[in-house]
Structure 1
């Protein structure tokens, strides 16, 4: 999830493990340690953009990394706080702060390779990478913990924070199951044969969900609000796999296929051939020139195929959020 949320959950975990020993100083350790896995973004800058994307949330988000890193991190904490925490406590706290970072990422659409070096990416897809309804309660209850010196009151506010935010995560899972069943019913009712379905929440809510459906020759996209009463329409996008024929032996193309987990289309445009990753939906739902959240321009050079992510326009993002708000409001008031 976003850095602020990861810091908040890291602080909560540090308070749970070390709050009695370090009091508010536990906040500092939680914030710092929780940000360490996402430093792979900066490591990725040493490589080409596609390799950097593939690296994100891989080794640095794995249990193996947490086991290796928690020992030196815990040893540093033990040395700095000698007399206040035991070595095992420091190592144990470091591991769980790192682990909760990856565990939280596993609820998002992008997921995380928590079992690296296995290629499997755990992705429950029940919460958006930025969700204020999850983050803000954490900030409120952590503030109340910070302002209290009484251990009993600190523990009470922390417990309430864990309960409320965990209930929100559970709500996301329950609604995802419900929406998935509604999608299957809609596909059955429209006599659509499919191979795979992705159901994922939209920005900062668990009310409106994006739907991706894979068929043999196309992808179907739609959205569904838990308040919807009308039939679910699907919009078809051709795979255009014939455009990939010159690139199928190129490493960059195969990297993009692996990153997208097969959820992609190819699109012939004035700019050239675009590789569209469908998992994160559309920025602009234009009938003639659809713009996906993640699109890559394929370019041939003497050294082989390269890819460049298309820049995003802030105006498109604002328009998307406005459309999102209108869609949710319409479904609630219909």
Structure 2
């Protein structure tokens, strides 16, 4: 999730655990702890792909965060002894904030290495990385806790339950769409072995569907507010890696994306795209791996580069209409180039 949401979640969780002891210092400490795991973005792993796929690694590991919380708790109690904030209370607050951070990240589409150093990317894909309906209640709870100090903990506890219920709703909505997708794939004679279902920007009502199918893939949108259950899929060409050798970073990108990858040539550059993050022809994670030389042969770059394209908010109106069930728009996915992921 975005940094604002993670800081707000950390503050709210800390306030909920503090209860009657909730105050500005507790909320600030929770916000700081909630931001801490994402500081791994300052690390440079040597190239654009490695920086992408190694984010949410060791700093998000369920195996490392509890020992780290123990260390923080020991240091705090060592230098700031307090009758109420015993070691166990400090540890409970610290580990709760850190673990809720990484678990929330695992509910987005990006992928989180929950069991680092063991290989594997885990994602539930039941919430977009920026969702105002999730974040705003957290911010309201923080504001209320600062204003109504005597009941600050109650506000935080209530909103933690509310935000958790919203995540459960997102998962439920995803399963509703998944059943609809399964029926459509069967009726339209499309494969169902490699399917992605993920929310579109800022909501849990409109969902993007990607279906991999040999030499092409299919992309469609499904809203919970649709009157018709039919999903219109747009077919897109799916290319393969044209070189005999696969760089280590490409193998890592394949694992990171669960092989939702596409390849294309553009301006003599070989571009590899992660199909999960973005929409249509405007994907969030694309990388240049090789350049075509004057002899017509591909020459691998020493390190892959990030390929950037312009992002536009012009189609948010169309996205809003499609979310409300207007299937006449049906995203002409060639036009709906929305990619608001970080």
Which residue of structure 1 lines up, in the alignment, with residue 262 of structure 2? 265
Do the aligned partners of residues 71 and 247 (structure 1) sit closer, same or farther apart at CA in structure 2, a change above 3 Å counting? Answer: farther
Greater CA deviation, 104-113 or 295-304?
A: 295-304
Q: Deviations over 1:50-84 (max 9, x none)?
A: 11112111111011221221122112322453224
For the residues of structure 1 that align with 2:299 and 2:273, how far apart are their CA atoms? Answer: 24
For the residues of structure 1 that align with 2:215 and 2:18, how far apart are their CA atoms? Answer: 54
Matched, 1:326 2:317: no
Do the aligned partners of residues 15 and 299 (structure 1) sit closer, same or farther apart at CA in structure 2, a change above 3 Å counting? Answer: same
Matched, 1:317 2:317: no
Q: Deviations over 1:184-204 (max 9, x none)?
A: 111111112231211110111
Shift of 1:120: 2.5
In 2, are the aligned partners of 1:108 and 1:123 still within 8 Å (CA)? yes
Q: Deviations over 1:252-275 (max 9, x none)?
A: 322322222200111122242211
Which residue of structure 1 lines up, in the alignment, with residue 276 of structure 2? 279
Shift of 1:327: 2.0
Do the aligned partners of residues 82 and 19 (structure 1) sit closer, same or farther apart at CA in structure 2, a change above 3 Å counting? Answer: farther
SS at structure 2 position matched to 1:245: coil
In 2, are the aligned partners of 1:227 and 1:332 still within 8 Å (CA)? no
Do the aligned partners of residues 229 and 149 (structure 1) sit closer, same or farther apart at CA in structure 2, a change above 3 Å counting? Answer: closer
Q: Please state which structure has a larger fraction of its residues in helix.
A: 1
For the residues of structure 1 that align with 2:275 and 2:185, how far apart are their CA atoms? Answer: 19
For the residues of structure 2 that align with 1:256 and 1:112, how far apart are their CA atoms? Answer: 13
SS at structure 2 position matched to 1:319: coil
Which residue of structure 1 lines up, in the alignment, with residue 290 of structure 2? 299
Count of aligned positions: 321
Greater CA deviation, 195-204 or 295-304?
A: 295-304
Which residue of structure 1 lines up, in the alignment, with residue 249 of structure 2? 252
By relative contact order (CA 8 Å, sep 6+), the higher-ranking structure is 2
Shift of 1:107: 1.1
Which residue of structure 1 lines up, in the alignment, with residue 163 of structure 2? 165
Greater CA deviation, 323-332 or 228-237?
A: 323-332
TM-score (norm 2): 0.86
SS at structure 2 position matched to 1:88: helix
Which residue of structure 1 lines up, in the alignment, with residue 68 of structure 2? 69
Which residue of structure 2 lines up, in the alignment, with residue 205 of structure 1? 203
Gaps of 5+ in 2: 292-297, 330-342
